[in-house]
Amino acid sequence: MTVVVLESALYALLLVSACTTLYLRFSRHEVPNLLVWNPVVFFTILISATSGAHWTLTIVRFFNAFLCSADVKRFYLDNSQKTQTAGSLLSLTSILIGDAAIIHRLWLIWNRSLLVIVLPVMSCFALLINGCASIYLITQPLAPMPVGRWVEAGWTIALGNNVYCTGAVEGRFKLGPNV
């Protein structure tokens, strides 16, 4: 129950932030048709859509646990449920979209230099592979290997990517445009 309340509050915060971002973007320009291909608008809509789908699955899973299952705790511990798998895939997709947005920002700040984004792009591919493997292993009734290490590796890759991109953006601002 706590997860449903917390995720609902965070999703509401995301919706307010996304709507504010889109409103400010569209109200600043006289020709809104040109904004359709703006990456900020694109990433905002994608993250809002995947987060909304994840929130919907959380609500559906909550009602399924109480209405269709005799043992609620067992229902939530069953990772082979289709709603759990879909929710995990949506979480992975949201993280990858967020990483793509950060990498795009890094690419722009470094004057579209491909050398700066090679490592983050490779880490996104590593996260995609790791995430798919983790989700596959979690959904198996008898996992052939411990899944915890795969999940930890995924979070480490995502954190490393974010730290690298943030540090590179900060370095660009501190060193100035002459770098």
pLDDT in tens, 115-170: 999 999 999 999 999 999 999 998 887 767 788 899 999 999 999 999 999 999 99
Q: How many domains does the chain have?
A: 2
Distances (CA, A) of 108 to 93, 104, 113, 129, 146: 23, 6, 8, 26, 40
Query: Residues 6 or more apart from 150 whose CB is under 8 A from it?
Result: 130, 133, 134, 137
Query: Is pLDDT above 70 for 25?
Result: yes
The string of DSSP letters for 84-105 reads HHHHHHHHHHHHHHHHHHHHHH
Contact 135, 121 (CB under 8 A): no
Instruction: Output the pLDDT for position 41.
Output: 87
Identify the domain containing residue 31 by its residue range: 1-78
User: Rounded to an integer, what is the distance from CA 107 to the centroid of its chain?
Assistant: 19
Q: 47, 78, 109: which is the final residue of a domain?
A: 78
Same domain assignment for residues 91 and 175: yes
* Judgement on whether residues 92 and 171 belong to the same structural domain of the protein: yes
